[in-house]
């Protein structure tokens, strides 16, 4: 490991163009829009409903106790609006809810489903369809936590896990099934005895994400297998044309709830950018990580290889980093996520596979190391922090090649971001150390690539072990074969 950022006695010479990397021409320059202002309608602060409890909205005592155990004091805006409708007596209304990431959507649909289940106990009661494996496990955890006092059981049905084990879990008739569209269809077509005929509730969570991942055919299949007499909740961060089409196909006379405007970010989120030359990205990353040392951080990159390289790079500098990406097996992805959630690693480097649905408490910082491909992905990424009314910060790296993409993001969220205050001279004092750390990481990856040991399907360990051991050549030969058994 390279020693932590040994400062050099002499400042490096700055390239001529580097001194001009301070501010980006904003599309709002002529409008004089304040950095913290938004064109979107904001809810009034300190409204009377802010002080109401879950009990005030009709949540039963048993559930209120479980909610209190989770530390939830007052329902969020989306939870209030859904509970008003979902817990009305003798009214089982379909709901379409458009709400920003981090607004408490899972609680909004879990609470009314569990309350109805308490009133009318039944196995195979609700199906939750969600786009990602990680989100499915997190939804399952929240259902079981809220329903712990009544023995609520869930089954998680996602790819990357043995179908036979999942079939056994379904045979035990859980109360709630949570799954990804593709794997749910696999079981509907191949698992004897698995049926949706008794289901009373269908939740389509992160619907825009599901549809953007080409799950339309799978969702249509699920809808065709579901009883027409049901209650359907459709939750989405954005209202796209595909979501509108799905709404028409799946909901009957729904109540529409829209807590926030399209692509809005929460007011408790500090959003900043850092305008830098592309050749110094790693140097500036080290600077930012040192500025926020010890803080819980999610670092977003565009490729799997970048996530692996930067994990090695930061570990070589002494940071506790772990990565999660689509090349890792389900076991390793969950292992990495658990280490991050438990605090054993405070930096999670993720591709966009993790940009939606990671509900991790106390995330202090999001860094967009690679600028997202579109504004919607930006909103979903930065939604990992400042959740449930807490404050947070998001910093986006912008190089000379990213200006147009950055300006599209500004336009979409209708907000001008502040520049993160940073001294170029101070940042470049880390140049030599970070260059060495990067070269070592690149060499380790190249050596492993030559051996053809990518480790994508290995079992055992977690993603942290995978990155460090695989790319340092520790899991090859006989040991690798042993791990695959």
Q: What is the pLDDT of residues 119-155, one digit of tens each?
A: 999 999 999 999 888 889 989 999 999 999 889 999 9
Residue 42 in any domain: the answer is: no
State whether 231 and 326 are in the same domain: no
Confidence category of residue 300, pLDDT binned at 50, 70, 90: very high
Among the listed residues 310, 299, 280, 297, the one whose alpha carbon sits nearest the alpha carbon of residue 471: 310
Please check whether residue 295 lies inside any domain of the structure.
yes
Domain-located, residue 335: yes
Place of tokens 């959630």: 341
Mean pLDDT, residues 215-236 taken together: 93
Q: Hey, CA dihedral for 333, 334, 335, 338, is it positive or negative?
A: positive
* 425 and 419 Cβ atoms separated by less than 8 Å: no
Say whether both 176 and 305 belong to one domain: no
Domain boundary among 234, 258, 282: 258
How many Cα atoms sit within 13 Å of 63 on the Cβ side? 26
Please indicate, yes or no, whether residues 308 and 430 belong to a single structural domain of this protein: yes
* pLDDT, tens digit (0-9, with 9 covering 90-100), for 367-387: 999 998 777 788 888 888 887
The residues pairing with 393 across neighbouring beta strands, listed in sequence order, are 270, 365
Residues 161 and 269 in one domain: no
Q: Residue 256 and residue 90: Cα distance in Å, rounded?
A: 19
Range of the domain at 401: 16-27+264-484
Same domain? For 118 and 23 the reply is: no
Contact 188, 220 (CB under 8 A): no
Q: β-pairing, 347-350 with 321-324?
A: parallel
Average pLDDT over residues 285-298: 96
Cβ atoms of 307 and 349 within 8 Å: the answer is yes
- Give yes or no for a contact between 123 and 260, defined as CB atoms under 8 angstroms apart: no
Does residue 458 sit within a domain?
yes
CA-wise closest residue to 174 among 126, 220, 138? 126
Predicted pLDDT at 130 = 94
pLDDT score for 47: 56
Is 190 in the same domain as 221? yes
Please state, for a pLDDT cut of 70, what percent of the chain lies above it: 79
Please indicate, yes or no, whether the overall pTM of this predicted structure exceeds 0.85. Answer: no
> What value does the mean pLDDT take over residues 328-352?
88
Does residue 391 surpass a pLDDT of 50? yes
Q: Are residues 216 and 334 both part of a single domain? A: no
Identify the helix (H) or strand (E) that includes residue 291.
helix 281-291
Whether 188 and 319 map to the same domain: the answer is no
Q: CA torsion sign, 106 to 109 to 112 to 118?
A: negative
| Per-residue model confidence (pLDDT) at position 420 | 96
Each residue's pLDDT tens digit, 189-199: 999 999 999 99
Over the Cα atoms of the chain, what is R_g?
Answer: 24
Same domain, yes or no: 273 and 298? yes
* Overall average pLDDT of the 174-198 stretch: 96
Q: Name the domain count of the chain.
A: 2
Q: Say if 339 falls within a structural domain.
A: yes
Both tokens assigned to 242? 């595909």
Within 8 A by CB and 6+ apart from 129, the residues are: 179, 180, 181, 184, 202, 203, 204, 205, 210, 219, 222
Same domain, 140 and 229: yes
Q: Do the domain assignments include residue 5?
A: no
Closest CA to 188 of 164, 221, 231: 221
In a domain, 6, yes or no: no
User: In this predicted structure, what is the pLDDT of residue 387?
Assistant: 78
Of the candidate ranges 38-52, 59-73, 92-106, 378-392, the one whose mean pLDDT is the lowest: 38-52
- Token pair recorded at residue 332: 């390793």
Cα angle: 428, vertex 433, 438; to 5 degrees: 105
Give the bridge partners for 255, in sequence order. Answer: 95
DSSP code of residue 98: E
Domain co-membership, 129 together with 165:
yes
What would the two tokens of residue 148 be? 């712990």
> What is the dihedral angle through the alpha carbons of 323, 329, 331, 332, rounded to the nearest 10 degrees?
-20
C-alpha 207/C-alpha 219 separation (Å) is: 10
Q: Which of 210, 235, 258 is the last residue of a domain?
A: 258
* Residue spans of beta strands (DSSP E) within 48-167: 95-98, 126-129, 154-157
* Last residue in a domain, options 217, 237, 258: 258
Alpha carbon distance 480, 485 (integer Å): 9
d(CA 383, CA 377): 10
Please tell me what DSSP assigns to residue 99.
Answer: -
Residues 301-311: what's their mean pLDDT?
91
For residue 103, the model assigns a pLDDT of 75
Largest CA distance in the chain: 75
We report the CATH number of the domain holding residue 296 as: 3.40.50.300
What's the DSSP call for residue 348?
A: E
Of the candidates 357, 354, 383, the one whose C-alpha atom is nearest the C-alpha of residue 100 is 383
- Confidence check: pLDDT of 322 > 90: yes
Q: Are residues 203 and 281 in the same domain?
A: no
**Structural domain contains residue 399:** yes
């Amino acid at each position: 490991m390279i020693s932590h950022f040994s400062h050099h006695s002499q400042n490096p010479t700055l390239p001529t163009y580097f001194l001009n990397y301070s501010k980006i021409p904003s599309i709002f320059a002529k409008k004089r829009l304040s950095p913290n202002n938004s064109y979107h309608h904001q809810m009034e602060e300190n409204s009377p409903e802010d002080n109401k409890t879950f009990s005030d909205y009709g949540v039963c005592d048993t559930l209120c106790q479980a909610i209190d155990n989770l530390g939830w004091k007052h329902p969020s805006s989306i939870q209030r609006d859904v509970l008003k409708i979902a817990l009305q007596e003798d009214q089982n209304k379909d709901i379409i809810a458009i709400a920003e990431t981090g607004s408490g959507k899972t609680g909004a649909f879990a609470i009314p489903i569990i309350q109805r289940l308490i009133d009318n106990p039944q196995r195979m009661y609700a199906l939750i369809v969600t786009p990602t494996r990680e989100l499915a496990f997190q939804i399952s955890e929240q259902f079981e936590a809220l329903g712990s006092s009544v023995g609520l059981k869930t089954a998680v049905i996602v790819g990357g896990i043995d179908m036979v084990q999942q079939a056994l879990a379904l045979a035990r008739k859980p109360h709630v099934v949570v799954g990804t569209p593709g794997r749910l269809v696999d079981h509907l077509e191949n698992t004897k005895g698995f049926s949706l005929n008794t289901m009373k509730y269908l939740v389509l969570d992160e619907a825009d994400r599901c549809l953007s991942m080409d799950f339309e055919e799978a969702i249509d299949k699920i809808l065709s297998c579901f009883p027409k007499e049901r209650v359907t909740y459709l939750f989405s961060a954005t209202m796209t044309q595909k979501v509108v089409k799905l709404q028409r196909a799946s909901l009957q006379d729904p109540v529409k709830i829209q807590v926030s405007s399209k692509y809005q970010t929460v007011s408790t989120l500090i959003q900043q950018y850092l305008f830098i030359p592309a050749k110094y990205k790693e140097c500036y990353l080290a600077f930012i990580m040192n500025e926020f040392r010890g803080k819980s951080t999610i670092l977003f990159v565009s490729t799997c290889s970048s996530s692996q390289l930067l994990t090695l790079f930061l570990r070589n500098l002494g940071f506790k980093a772990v990565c999660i990406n689509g090349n890792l097996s389900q076991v390793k992805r969950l292992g990495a996520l658990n280490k991050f959630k438990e605090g054993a690693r405070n930096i999670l480097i993720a591709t966009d596979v993790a940009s939606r649905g990671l509900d991790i408490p106390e995330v202090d910082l999001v860094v967009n190391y690679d600028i997202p491909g579109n504004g919607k992905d930006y909103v979903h990424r930065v939604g990992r922090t400042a959740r449930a009314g807490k404050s947070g910060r998001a910093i986006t790296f912008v190089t000379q090649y990213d200006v147009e993409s950055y300006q599209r993001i500004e336009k979409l969220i209708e907000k001008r971001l502040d520049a993160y205050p940073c001294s170029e001279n101070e940042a470049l004092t880390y140049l030599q150390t970070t260059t060495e750390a990067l070269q070592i990481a690149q060499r380790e990856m190249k050596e492993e690539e030559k051996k053809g040991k990518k480790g994508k399907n290995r079992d055992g360990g977690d993603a942290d072990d995978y990155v460090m051991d695989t790319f340092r050549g520790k899991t090859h030969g006989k040991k690798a074969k042993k791990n695959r058994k």
